[in-house]
Structure 1
Amino acid sequence: MHYRIHIQGHLDSGWQDRFAGLRIEQQEGGTTLLVGTLPDQAALYGVLLQLIWMSLVLLSLETNQAEGDEEAAQRS
């Protein structure tokens, strides 16, 4: 699944390893977007736990099927 996790505050790109390879994108207005694909729900829970441990505020969480997943589903 592809995820877009919007959080309050700016995260430095040095934290990227803590978020299972999600890309860190600083947004205007003092927020950060974590974007990318996670292999399963356990990986998502790991990312969410990192947010909790870092006392970050979750603003939104969006999911959609990754492009590769859509193509595989259409071939089936």
Structure 2
Amino acid sequence: MERTVLITGATSGIGREFAKLFAADGYHVVLAARSEEELQIVKQDIEASHSMRASCFARRQAFQPGPLMAVYSALTTN
């Protein structure tokens, strides 16, 4: 079973570092932050550096039913 973790504030500072640490430990990281562009940079870095899957969800998606279900699915489906 794949381990999954949700990281908020994933594009900078401690959130970004936690995302890298969890990915290095074998977790599928679900990244959440305000900037979709920065999320894609972090996602690409994690996938290239750690060969782990990452999913991204930007703030603009937070109040739309589709992306919320996608977050739920990313956290509960292995």
> TM-score normalised to the size of structure 1?
0.34
In terms of fraction of residues, the more strand-rich structure is 1
